[in-house]
């Protein structure tokens, strides 16, 4: 499986403060600014990213892993009998993704850009 990036998904109930911390203090660029989440990326290494959002915006996924072929990753998860907690879905923001639980019950967002 080809992995493009893996990013932590952090919960915040203070998105404006998170924006000031990650962009203002640490110098990350704002890559996405949505109602329920912000994605920050390093200006010197664009694949170094952090997503910060409200509980609703994060959909409970703690880590996002971008793969080259999300359909193949989904098929492999099904073949292995892994617990899929959000079905393979084309999202309106131009990604295709599903959520799967790791062995400890952590929800992982497996995603490809369309």
Q: Is the dihedral of CA 50, 56, 62, 64 positive or negative?
A: negative
CATH architecture of 59-114: Roll (3.10)
Domain ranges of the chain: 1-56, 59-114
* CATH topology for the 1-56 domain: 3.30.720
86 φ/ψ angles, rounded to the nearest 5 degrees: -145, 125
Contact between 82 and 104 under an 8 Å Cβ cutoff? The reply is: no
| Closest among 93, 108, 18, 14 to 60, alpha carbons compared | 108
Q: What is the pLDDT of residues 8-26, one digit of tens each?
A: 999 888 999 999 999 999 9
Contact between 104 and 61 under an 8 Å Cβ cutoff? The reply is: no
Q: What is the pLDDT of residues 60-103, one digit of tens each?
A: 788 999 999 999 999 999 999 999 999 999 998 899 999 999 99
Contact between 16 and 37 under an 8 Å Cβ cutoff? The reply is: no
Taking the whole predicted model, whether its pTM rises above 0.85 is answered as: no
């Amino acid at each position: 499986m080809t992995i493009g990036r893996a990013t932590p998904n952090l919960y915040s109930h203070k998105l404006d403060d998170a924006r000031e911390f990650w962009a203002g203090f640490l110098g990350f660029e704002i890559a996405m600014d949505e109602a329920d989440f912000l994605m920050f990326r390093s200006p010197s290494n664009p694949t170094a990213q952090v997503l910060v959002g409200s509980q609703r915006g994060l959909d409970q996924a703690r880590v996002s892993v971008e793969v080259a072929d999300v359909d193949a990753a989904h098929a492999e998860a099904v073949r292995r009998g892994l617990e899929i907690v959000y079905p393979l879905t084309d999202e309106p923001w131009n990604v295709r993704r599903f959520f799967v639980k790791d062995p400890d019950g952590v929800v992982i967002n497996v995603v490809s850009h369309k």
